Amino acid sequence: LFAKGANYIPGTLLLPTRTEADRKQLFDDVAGSHFNMLRVWGGGTYEEDAFYDEADARGILIWQDFMFACTAYPGDSAFLKNVHSELVYNIRRLRQHPSVATWCGNNEIREALKYWGWAKRYPKEVYEKFWHDYEALFCKLIPETLREEDPLRPYIESSPDTVNWGRPQEMGLGESHYWGVWYGRQPFEILRERMPRFMSEFGVQSFPMLPSISRFARPETDYDLESDVMKAHQKSSIGNDVILHYIRQDYPEPRDFADFVYLSQVMQGRGIALGIRAQRAAAPFCMGSLYWQLNDAWPAVSWSSIDYYGEWKGLQYEAKRAFAPIILVPDTARGKMLLTYDPLPRQRQVSLTAEVRDCSGRLIRRHTFAPETLPAREVGRLKVELPMEKLFTSDAERNGAFVHYELRDARTKALITELTDYAARTKELRLPRTKAGDFTLKTTRRAGTLFIDIQSKTLLKDAYIDLGETGWQLSDNFLDILPGRRYRLRATRRQNAPARTTTALPTVTLRSITTAG
């Protein structure tokens, strides 16, 4: 089993305010995005029974941290006695749940002791006591308690246990929290190379979209990165600077606050999806991809893929695509393609085609690859060499065209998956500026569902459909709208959405790389 999912944090700072609808919506989101695992992070709280009941029912595995994170803890007998009572209570409560797959002692404390400079920061006797107390709690008390209360489940002492992101020579030794992307400001492409046996944390920040921001900020005074409100909702001292750093790597310079917000989500989604796809393509060497983080505890600029109000960011749509049962993992710039798939019930013959088109949709050339057979009942991958000299014959094509891949069932011709890719970074592409009348956007309603029909004469790269208010769940978003093709998206109200105060259709707009919305 390849673990697919994210790190979960408490859904709100005021725990009793969460509702059953909130919990069910969260698991709808998780299951609907092809997740099979959540890591309950050790800096949060042990969840209530209903959370694990829902995980049991949905088939979502739980990596369960004990609630210790990022700091040194005492090791005196009084403290350990208190912890033992907490351990026994929670182990007995949670061991009955088949969803609980593994226990983990703590989040990043072993890494902190080894690599965060504590040996230099603290006196020698203090640092040695840190290690002594660490071993008493995580190497003795917790595993001994588990042997008594739940001996069959595996126990991980600390996450990460061995691997540190600043030491690439260690990457193959275990699971990793890879923060070279974000804190190290390394390019997303490094995620293709720095491959652990299991990726249990990696991520970058983005802003919530404007409908969510409007619930805690006023457009006329607060829509500015330097406003008091925006600074209050950004708790990372390096946050906005690093977001802009990653936007500038691949995308045009943001024109204004709204463009910065939009590009932050495009960047986050595309970048983390690159990592997810690379990790899946590295199976069976790497057998898990859990990004940081799924959700928010308050309305903040953060690493989440679903914001505090339940709105999907671009990353959640990208994760849904990257965690699908069968995916394409392209590296068009280097002429490589991997087809990665979850275990299949039976072998399947597939055929892959690649169409190169310009931004108006004109077909430049088409390449059909020889059919391939995917074996059954195993996590697998298939390597395809891309004939770049046949796909793109000039720099003008590399910078002014795209390649659209389609994978179909060789027998029935049914579409299995598709993907659009580029041979250059977005900021290097010669994309035509979208003009009025280049695309149509029509909204209709049937019962409780909105249907949004889109058609464009030119490529709309990274199109974001904005309904102007929170509470709607779209079937897809943050996607490339290909020229000449008809798209129909569905929008329904989430079960925990606030009641609407009007029966009028929402005002739907579209923003892409080449249009301001």
Q: Has 108 been annotated as catalytic?
A: yes
Peptide linkage before 160 cis (omega within 30 of 0)? yes
Catalytic residue among 47, 54, 201, 318: 201
Say which DSSP state 117 is in.
Answer: S
Cis-peptide, bond into residue 284, ω within 30° of zero: yes
CA distance to 18, 29, 155, 199, 409, per residue, from 275 (Å): 32, 20, 26, 10, 27
The active-site residue, picked from 47, 54, 108, 111, is 108
Backbone angles phi, psi at 259, to 5 degrees: -70, -40
Active-site residue, 220 included: no
Of 405, 409, 341, 344, nearest in space to 372 by CA: 409
Burial of 233 (0-12, 13-18, 19+ CB in 10 A): buried
Long-range contacts of range 468-475, CB-CB < 8 Å, 24 or more positions apart?
Answer: 468/211, 468/506, 468/507, 468/508, 468/509, 469/211, 469/500, 469/506, 470/211, 470/212, 470/215, 470/309, 470/310, 470/311, 470/497, 470/498, 471/310, 471/497, 471/498, 471/500, 472/497, 472/506, 473/312, 474/312
On whether the CB atoms of residues 420 and 485 are closer than 8 A, the answer is no
Where b means 16+ CB within 10 Å and e means fewer, 360-393 reads eeeebeeeebeebebeeeeebbbebebebeebbe
User: 340 is written with which tokens?
Assistant: 């990665």
Angular region, 4: left φ>0, alpha ψ -120 to 50, beta rest:
beta
What tokens were used for 80? 């350990």
In angstroms, rounded to a whole number, what is the distance separating the alpha carbons of residues 464 and 517? 9
Question: Whole-angstrom Cα distance, residue 41 to residue 69?
Answer: 8
Rounded Cα distance between 327 and 237, Å, is 36
d(CA 354, CA 327): 15
Amino acid at the residue 436: A
Please say whether the beta carbons of 458 and 515 come within 8 A.
no
Give the integer Cα–Cα distance in Å for 145 and 151. Answer: 9
Return d(Cα 3, Cα 34) in angstroms, integer. Answer: 10
Cα 325 from Cα 290, distance rounded (Å): 16
Q: Which residues contact 232 (CB under 8 A, 6 or more apart)?
A: none
DSSP letter, residue 139 = I
Known catalytic residues are 108, 201
